[in-house]
Amino acid sequence: MEHLSKRILVVDDDQGILDSFEVLLGDRYDLVMTDNGYEALRIIETKPPRLVFLDIKMPGLDGMDVLKRLRKDQKKVEVVIITATHREETEREAKSLGAIDFLMKPLNIVEVERIASQILS
């Protein structure tokens, strides 16, 4: 049943970040990972996750583009932004597009685990 799935999508072009999520959440959740925005949209379409950790700065379709597309398509998926550089207006824009949280790298594992458990419990 889709609504009971424990699928989390992580979108980041950095292998280190993907590896971090794998060791942090991989043993408890159904973790799907990709390094680009196009693939992310495809996954959301075909295997909808309940939570997406989305990097902003990526080549091609970046995090904000993905967020806009999701908003446009009225996808019911929770999105948490993960970014290395903090800019208030980016955070404001992301939140106005429906992002539920805005996490700064280096990530705090406690916070990541809290969000995952909150959304997927």
Stretch that binds other proteins, among 15-23, 43-51, 66-74, 90-98 (CB under 8 A): 15-23
Stretch that binds other proteins, among 22-30, 46-54, 72-80, 88-96 (CB under 8 A): 22-30
Strand order in the sheet with 101-104: 30-34, 7-11, 51-55, 78-83, 101-104
- What is the spatial distance between Cα 2 and Cα 75, in angstroms, rounded to a whole number? 14
Neighbours of 79 (CB within 10 A): 24
Query: Is residue 109 involved in binding other proteins (CB under 8 A)?
Result: yes
Task: Name the token pair of 3.
Answer: 């609504």
Nearest residue (CB) to other proteins, 1 versus 59: 59
- What is the spatial distance between Cα 102 and Cα 38, in angstroms, rounded to a whole number? 21
Residues 39-78 vs other proteins: string with x where CB under 8 A?
Answer: ------------------x-xx-x----------------
Rounded least distance, CB 104 to other proteins, Å: 8
